[in-house]
């Protein structure tokens, strides 16, 4: 079945360690996104990518890094520079239709990161 797979589902990290969250999609979607969600809050955009080998910062990119070497993969690294990394991380993708990205977003099931 087509969809978005995020791994791991749960992750614990010690302070000062970098950690990479995986996001893979087999929907052949052009664009991919990373969001962060804190308890009781809406989603905030970290990074997004419209095409392979290109990505842009969202509203809260500090302390995070991404790469887009393949169309189907968009990993997110939470670095030690991120001051408060404990959160629920969501990856999404969308297709480009007629050169535009205005259709629906498809989300993964999320990765919950806890810093000990």
Partner 1 sequence: DAKTTQPNSMESNEEEPVHLPCNHSTISGTDYIHWYRQLPSQGPEYVIHGLTSNVNNRMASLAIAEDRKSSTLILHRATLRDAAVYYCILRAASNTGKLIFGQGTTLQVKP
User: CA 85 from chain center: how many Å?
Assistant: 13
The dihedral formed by the CA atoms of 7, 29, 59 and 35, expressed in degrees to the nearest 10: -30
Contact positions with partner 1 (CB under 8 A) in 1-40: 4, 31, 33, 35
Residues 78-107, mask of contacts with partner 1 (x by CB under 8 A): ----------x-x-x-x-x---xxxxxxxx
Q: Omega of the bond prior to 6 within 30 degrees of 0, cis?
A: no
Residues 45-84, mask of contacts with partner 1 (x by CB under 8 A): x--x-x-----x-xx-------------------------
């Amino acid at each position: 079945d087509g969809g978005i797979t995020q791994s791991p589902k749960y992750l614990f990290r010690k302070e000062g360690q970098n950690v990479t969250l995986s996001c893979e999609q087999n929907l052949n979607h052009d664009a991919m996104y990373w969001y962060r969600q804190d308890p009781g809050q809406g989603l905030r955009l970290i990074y997004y990518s419209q095409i392979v080998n290109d990505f842009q910062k969202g509203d809260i990119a500090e302390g995070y890094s991404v790469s887009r070497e393949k169309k189907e993969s968009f990993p997110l690294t939470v670095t030690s520079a991120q001051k408060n990394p404990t959160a629920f991380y969501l990856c999404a993708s969308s297709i480009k239709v007629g050169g535009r990205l205005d259709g629906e977003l498809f989300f993964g099931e999320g990765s919950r990161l806890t810093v000990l």
